Amino acid sequence: MQSGTNDPLSGASLADAHPFGLAEKLDRWGGEELILRRDGPTGAWIVIALHSSVMGPPTGGTRFKPYPDLDAAIADALRLSEGMTHKYAVAGFPRGGGKAVIHAPIPLDPAARAGLLRRYGSVLSRLGGTFQTGPDVGTSSEDMDVIGENGAPWVFARTPAAGGAGSSGPYTALGVFAGIRAACTHVFGGEGLRGRTVLVQGAGSVGERLITLLRSAGASVCFSDVDPECARRIREQEAVPLVEPEAVYGTACDVFAPCALGAVLNERTIPLLSCRLVAGGANNQLAGEADGTRLHERGILYVPDYAVNIGGAMAITGIEAMGWTPSEAERRVVESVERAVGRLLELVEREGVLPEVAARSLARERLAAASA
Ligand code: PHE
């Protein structure tokens, strides 16, 4: 019988069932450092995964949500941190891959949550800049203010009142928008976004702004959100049609833009898709490697998430740590994503490889140059 490490098919399930599965997971991940800290007062776990410092200091969002268990929280942190490495490498941006996940199994009242965030800030302070963070799913600029009480200056995207550059969502949306536009020009020709139908999944801080940008470029947009309250507000505000969450995958459109959670492109959803292109802001959209092939076989062009969703991290760290003005940040985000998508699609065409493979090889090239 093959061992879990040698057999990629049975490997994952063996590792999950094995009591020492963590070591195998870490081996496969290939990152630099994993920090696990139990927060006594709340029982929450703080997981910080530092994947690579080759391009610069590991910098990534702090995700806050309850996971099924600690294993799942660690697995997510590992995957997300690797995604950040690829994100910066594809763009040639001087930051490294890292991500934090706070797994709070039981709901916390606001005071308990703030206490946890402050103690997390102390962990960041102790790390002394070897991990630098910003908002992600489940955290806001207001949360960054609280983390920053102890964690400054390693906390980005605090509110302007606290001296930060504010929410990163609009910058991420701008980059995703530029990526969708570039990919549409490539696939459909000169018309760009005019008259294209785009389905935005998730109308959070990225999705909502993306809807606005797409509409002002002449696209016809529909959207979905699992939160009925948010869905109603956006439908009224933007006057765009709402698609029920269950109906998303079967809805015909030119572009499907996932801007909610990861793993939405999988064995179950891909056969249902009725679009020409997938490009969106969510991290880790492919559930597994096979899903890139599945999309290709369905004739759908997948623009890897990390090639288009760098906007938030790039703009905010650029403004706060490199002295960019907000308008300079916007210009650089658009230029960077357009260039990345252009190089990627050219490689896909020239070499006949999957977009995911092309993106990885661009990232690998940059990482090799940086470590040389
Ligand atoms: N959530 C951002 C991302 O996934 C992370 C980030 C935001 C990092 C802002 C720094 C500043 O790219």
Q: Atom of ligand 1 at shortest distance to CA of 310? A: 12
**HEC profile of the chain:** CCCCCCCHHHHHHHHHHCCCHHHHHHHHHCCCEEEEEEECCCCEEEEEEEEECCCCCEEEEEEECCCCCHHHHHHHHHHHHHHHHHHHHHHCCCCEEEEEEEECCCCCCHHHHHHHHHHHHHHHHHHCCCCEEEECCCCCHHHHHHHHHHHCCCECCCCHHHCCCCCCHHHHHHHHHHHHHHHHHHHHCCCCCCCCEEEEECCCHHHHHHHHHHHHCCCEEEEECCCHHHHHHHHHHHCCCECCHHHHHHCECCEEEECCCCCCECCCCHHHCECCEECCCCCCCECCCHHHHHHHHCCCEECCHHHHCCHHHHHHHHHHHHCCCHHHHHHHHHHHHHHHHHHHHHHHHHHCCCHHHHHHHHHHHHHHHHHC
Q: Does any ligand 1 atom lie closer than 6 A to the CB of residue 313?
A: yes
Q: Are strands 58-64 and 96-103 parallel, antiparallel or unpaired?
A: parallel
Q: What is the CA radius of gyration of the chain?
A: 20
Strand partners, 62: 100, 135
State yes or no: cis peptide before 228, omega within 30 of 0: no
pLDDT for 20 equals 53
For the Cβ of 60 lying below 6 angstroms from any atom of ligand 1, the answer is yes
Give me the residues paired with residue 286 across strands.
265
Number of neighbours of residue 298 by Cβ within 10 angstroms: 14
Dist CA 326 CA 320 (whole Å) = 10
What is the position in ligand 1's atom list of the atom closest to the CA of 316?
11
- 8 A C-beta contact, residue 102 and residue 116: yes
CB count within 10 Å of CB 114 equals 16
Residue 134 Cα to ligand 1 midpoint, Å, equals: 5
**Beta carbon of 58 within 6 Å of any ligand 1 atom:** no
Between the alpha carbon of residue 164 and those of residues 104, 154, 197, 372, the distances in Å are 26, 11, 36, 34
Could you confirm whether 25 is annotated as catalytic?
no
Q: Give the mutation target among 90, 136, 144 for probing the ligand 1 site: most ligand atoms within 8 A of CB.
A: 136
- Cβ(134) – ligand 1 distance below 6 Å: yes
Is ligand 1 within 6 A of the CB of residue 317?
yes
Q: Is the CB of 135 under 6 A from ligand 1?
A: yes
Ligand 1 center–CA 9 separation, angstroms:
32
pLDDT computed for residue 6 by the predictor: 33
- The total of other beta-carbon atoms located within 10 Å of residue 325's CB is 10
Q: Whose CA is nearest to atom 4 of ligand 1?
A: 61
Torsion of CA 84, 87, 91, 92, to 10 degrees: 40
Between CA 2 and CA 31 the distance in angstroms is: 25
- pLDDT by residue, tens only, the chain of 372 residues: 333 333 333 334 443 444 458 999 999 999 999 999 999 999 999 999 999 999 999 999 999 999 999 999 999 999 999 999 999 999 999 999 999 999 998 999 999 999 999 999 999 999 999 999 999 999 999 999 999 999 999 999 999 999 999 999 999 999 999 999 999 999 998 778 999 999 999 999 999 999 999 999 999 999 999 999 999 999 999 899 999 999 999 999 999 999 998 999 999 999 999 999 999 999 999 999 999 999 999 999 999 999 999 999 999 999 999 999 999 999 999 999 999 999 999 999 999 999 999 999 999 999 999 998
Give 213 Cα–ligand 1 centroid separation in angstroms.
20
Distance between start and end Cα atoms, the chain: 39
Q: Is 37 left (phi over 0), alpha (psi -120 to 50) or beta?
A: beta
Centroid of ligand 1 to alpha carbon of 76 (angstroms) = 15
Cβ atoms of residues 138 and 119 within 8 Å: no
